[in-house]
């Protein structure tokens, strides 16, 4: 069976050496083709995709006709295949797929339905072989159904003729924290804070790491701020914050700070520094 063709075959009755066969192709109660053949196979072409046909075969022997045998054939609409989820962010996803060769000459489009356990199904249609889903919830699993729908070939509107669905699931990314801000910078300590991940409602923590002057450390935090001490005076340190949701990490945000002799430090320890000098 092809997109617009079907091959049928049958067995010759025992003891019959020479006979011809009468084939009739019907659809919706109308006779579409009638043909006489001497072989035990035949191919019907130029059929309509998405349409149901019935084929009957009668043996003709000395101008006598046997009782016909019948079979029903449905020219199925091909299912979208090779669905690929490309770039995925916290709120969007790129999809692409392919379809059986030969469909380019048959007017069609694709219907896409997607939802999560917490959201109502959303639908969209496209004549392209790719689509971008937007407005998704961060760190959420989505179920996507894609089917192919035929468009009326004679331009008199659209018929409800669809393929079966191709179904896949994917999960959106964990969003990054907001930008880092240093609220206090001392010669040997730093205090920083950051904004919450946009749109993330699931339980999550933050992984804070910092590196500089021969050290590289990290610590998990449940809140939006962090303070560390024991740093070297006048050294550069890079702080990185990552959102962690059920062992899944999102993109990180980073910022570099230089520890130094602040006015507060000099006011507190200035006399001691001057004495040592």
Domain map (residue ranges) of the chain? 6-74, 81-171, 180-276
Contact by Cβ (8 Å): 189, 229: yes
56 pLDDT above the threshold of 90: yes
CATH of domain 6-74: 2.60.40.10
CA distance 253 to 224: 13
Q: Of 44-58, 84-98, 145-159, which one has max mean pLDDT?
A: 84-98
Top-confidence residue, 15 or 206: 206
Residue 197, classed as helix, strand or coil, is: coil
Query: Topology of domain 81-171, per CATH?
Result: Immunoglobulin-like (2.60.40)
pLDDT band at 265 (very low <50, low <70, confident <90, very high): low
Mean pLDDT value across residues 159-182: 91
Domains 6-74 and 81-171 share a fold: yes
pLDDT band at 271 (very low <50, low <70, confident <90, very high): low
pLDDT value for 267: 64
CATH of domain 180-276: 2.60.40.10
pLDDT in tens, 112-150: 999 999 889 999 999 999 999 999 999 999 999 999 998
DSSP string, 117-145: TTS--EEEEESSSEEEE-SPPTT-EEEEE
pLDDT value for 275: 45
261 pLDDT above the threshold of 70: no
160 pLDDT above the threshold of 80: no
Top-confidence residue, 200 or 156: 200
Q: DSSP code of 79?
A: P
CA distance 10 to 75: 19
16 pLDDT above the threshold of 70: yes
**pLDDT-wise least confident of 104-108, 162-166, 252-256:** 104-108
Contact by Cβ (8 Å): 71, 23: no
pLDDT band at 260 (very low <50, low <70, confident <90, very high): confident
**115 token code pair:** 């939802």
Contact by Cβ (8 Å): 125, 147: no
């Amino acid at each position: 069976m092809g997109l617009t063709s079907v091959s049928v075959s049958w067995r010759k009755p025992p003891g019959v050496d020479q006979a011809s066969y009468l084939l009739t192709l019907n659809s919706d109660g109308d006779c579409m083709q009638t043909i006489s053949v001497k072989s035990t196979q035949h191919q019907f072409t130029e059929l309509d995709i998405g349409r149901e046909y019935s084929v009957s075969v009668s043996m003709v022997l000395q101008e006598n006709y046997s009782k016909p045998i019948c079979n029903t054939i449905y020219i199925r609409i091909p299912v979208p295949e090779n669905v690929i989820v490309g770039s995925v962010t916290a709120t969007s996803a790129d999809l692409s797929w392919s379809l059986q060769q030969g469909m380019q000459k048959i007017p069609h489009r694709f219907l896409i339905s997607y939802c999560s356990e917490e959201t109502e199904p959303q639908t969209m249609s496209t004549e392209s072989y790719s689509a971008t889903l937007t407005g998704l919830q961060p760190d959420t699993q989505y179920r996507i159904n894609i089917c192919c729908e035929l468009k009326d070939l004679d331009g008199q509107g659209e018929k409800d003729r669809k393929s079966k669905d191709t179904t896949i699931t994917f999960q959106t990314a964990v969003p990054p924290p907001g930008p880092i801000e240093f609220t206090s910078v001392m010669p040997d300590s730093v205090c920083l804070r950051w904004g919450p991940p946009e749109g993330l409602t699931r339980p999550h923590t933050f992984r804070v790491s910092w590196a500089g002057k021969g050290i590289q450390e990290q610590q998990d935090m449940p809140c939006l701020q962090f303070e560390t001490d024991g740093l070297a005076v006048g050294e550069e340190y890079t702080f990185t914050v990552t959102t962690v949701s059920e062992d899944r990490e999102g993109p990180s945000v980073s910022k570099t700070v230089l520890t130094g002799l602040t006015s507060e430090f000099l006011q507190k320890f200035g006399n001691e520094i001057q004495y040592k000098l």
